[in-house]
Amino acid sequence: MSDATDTHCPYCALQCGMGLRAAEGPVPVSVVERPSFPVNQGALCGKGANAAAVLAPGARLTTPLVRQDGVLRPAGWPEALGRIAEAVGATAEAYGRDAVGVFGGGGLTNEKAYALGKFARVVLGTSAIDYNGRFCMSSAAAGGIRAFGLDRGLPFPVADIPFAGCVVLVGSNPAETMPPFVRYLRELRENGGTLIVVDPRRTRTAELADLHLAPRPGTDLALALGMLHLVVAEGRTDEEFIELRTTGWEQTRAAAMAHWPEHVEAVTGVPLPQLRSAAMMFCDASSAMVLTARGPEQQAKGTDTVSAWINLCLATGNAGRPYAGYGCLTGQGNGQGGREHGQKADQLPGYRKLDDPAARAHVAAVWGVDPDSLPGPGRSAYELLESLGGEVRSLLLMGSNPVVSAPRSAHVAERLRALDFLAVSDVVLSETAELADVVLPVTQWAEETGTMTNLEGRVILRRKAVDAPGGVRSDLEVLHELAALLGRPEGFPTDPELVFEELRRASAGGVADYAGISYERIAAEDGVFWPCPAEEHPGTPRLFLDRFATPDGRARFTPVQHRPAAEEPDAEFPVRLTTGRVLAQYQSGAQTRRVDALNDAAPGAFVELHPALAERLGVREGDRVAVVSRRGRTVTPARLTTAIRPDTVFMPFHWPGEGNANLHTNPALDPVSRMPEFKACAVRLEAVAP
């Protein structure tokens, strides 16, 4: 529409296209459809349709806040920024540069993620930087790099999914987490393809499936190994593909054969006939895909679990060809781009490794600094949060709410309170911002221009549609002014396009090469797929068709073995807890819980349990139930449903306080990805008197 600004939704990694039109009243714009954008073709979920509500003055921050006598009070920008610069300088002088930490977010634009990583390493000189995307898809990233030499959520466009012969969707519920994506699953079945959904709950997505497998939480690795065992036993491997395009098959084959089907049935709880059906549906298809999400990835063995599903694809020749392969459904809005350009503990822009001398030299030249001045790799996200108040004494936090979203969240809140100084930049006064010494109100999606990279690796452009309130500044302005106060007046422009131009140079030649992508190209082409090394390059919608991104061009099998969850049920805590999202809320709920229409649809926390378990506890629908773990106790209403396993309960993680599911989640870390084990822990349930 000619009077609407073309932009994208502020929430999940589908990054649906939408338009914003000027409106009267406290909400300055209204959301309209944008049918021309190919990913969602105008469709929006309730979160996207109501996204503009957070632009209202009453829903968001409009002035800086500083803590005085234990209370946050309004302040001017010079005072707020001056306090941050003074505190950071004092911490570095007293305890060293690594005592200043930086924690970023998977919702930041590429420009802001890039500038934040540069700020940490050039201005602060600290290695203590990571971001909440570590909690999103780091296991999938590690598994993809391990097998293919490259991590991009989907190595093909979402439009390819309906043309696969079979799709296995593992631990994902897009009917509630990204509803416009569901059209691709429906089209898959309309085209004659089959859909297998792996989830301990019979979700709205599982209702669409030809076959639903409901394993115990924490056993996805055994399930994948059991399927590969059956593929080998039935002689359904693609020996030509294995010979020509892979390495490491013999060891992987031997590991899979140690997981015989009856053993897998006992471990997972998936009946053997269903396991056989899944393996044969996958093999009988003309082409097949495996798509994972947080279910199998947010485990202390998430990387190995991803590797097991990749091994299944490789063994059957379902990789490196059209309408086949492994992909990850990224969760956060810029979960892909946010980890490509430097806010991750071990990375430099372009998905370069921080400990690679050539990478350091290239990026240092773009930044105009000595490569030796760049700090080395730092701690992963949870380890960084764990160090607060100890090794890290001051923290700058941008666009994240770990008080609600981090595992063992009560402990994380304690660590935040133990800091000498905490500064938070955010759109709203989140539960984490409430603990800060300084809170900076910053612009949000409709008030700023910047690029995002969606789950396909498509770099898209969010356009500014409305001016921010007078007391609000952009994150780029914050970094520019702080850099100047800390002695670096140059190198941190506030114009996002100038930042992106520098990002292009910094990423050039890297794995995630954006050198050929410009704002003009994105606007003209509805986004550009990376890698795109030159302006005349068409971009790369489909990876690996000719070779994989390994030195020899072959994909690597990885032999893996199943192992139990870090915390298994026992006599004291006999039930498994798993967590996830609901349709009307998003992530920690910091923004969606401020939208009346979304709160009406999903007003608060709950625990979902099977009627058989409820009967043993004497619990009825709506009764208040205490969920107790080794890390905390929550009290929340019960929802009874036969759609969940009798040995498992489910809690959504969008709410703080007594319904905060992440009070329970286990911070046990994957040894490769450093992903915490959000998706499986042991609890007991207790009926609570009315």
Each residue's pLDDT tens digit, 428-445: 999 999 999 999 999 999
Q: Label residue 58 by pLDDT band (50, 70, 90).
A: confident
pLDDT greater than 50 at residue 377: yes
Domain-terminating residue out of 470, 498, 529: 529
- Domain co-membership, 416 together with 463: yes
- Domain co-membership, 235 together with 188: yes
AA letter at 579: T
421-426 sheet: strands from edge to edge: 71-74, 65-68, 438-441, 421-426, 394-398, 100-104, 129-131
pLDDT greater than 90 at residue 331: no
| DSSP notation for 380-396 | -HHHHHHTBTTTB-EEE
The number of folded domains in the chain is: 4
Please write the tens of the pLDDT for every residue from 157-171: 999 999 999 999 999
pLDDT greater than 50 at residue 59: yes
For residue 174 the two structure tokens come to: 């897009």
pLDDT greater than 80 at residue 344: yes
Domain-terminating residue out of 20, 41, 59: 59
- Domain co-membership, 103 together with 155: no
C-alpha span between 58 and 153 (Å, rounded): 36
Secondary element (H or E) of residue 50: none
- Domain co-membership, 171 together with 298: yes
Per-residue pLDDT, 2: 57
Please write the tens of the pLDDT for every residue from 516-547: 999 999 999 999 999 999 999 999 999 999 99
- Domain co-membership, 471 together with 616: no
pLDDT greater than 80 at residue 71: yes
CB neighbour list of residue 24: distance below 8 Å, 6 or more residues apart = none
> 248 exposed, middle or buried (CB, 10 Å; 0-12, 13-18, 19+)?
middle
- Domain co-membership, 677 together with 594: yes
Structural domain contains residue 539: no
- Domain co-membership, 290 together with 390: no
CATH number at residue 179: 3.40.228.10
- Rounded to the nearest 10 degrees, what angle do helices 261-268 and 220-233 cross at? 160
pLDDT greater than 70 at residue 224: yes
pLDDT greater than 50 at residue 1: no
Structural domain contains residue 357: yes
- Domain co-membership, 23 together with 120: no
Residue labelled with tokens 């039935």: 234
Counting residues of the chain whose pLDDT is more than 90, the rounded percentage is 97
In which domain, by residue range, is 374 found? Answer: 65-135+349-529
CATH number at residue 364: 3.40.50.740
Phi, psi of 20 (to 5 degrees): -120, 125
Structural domain contains residue 375: yes
DSSP state of 473: B
Indicate the pTM of the whole model. Answer: 0.96
Q: Label residue 267 by pLDDT band (50, 70, 90).
A: very high
Per-residue pLDDT, 689: 82
> 90 exposed, middle or buried (CB, 10 Å; 0-12, 13-18, 19+)?
middle
**How confident is the prediction for the chain on average, in pLDDT?**
97
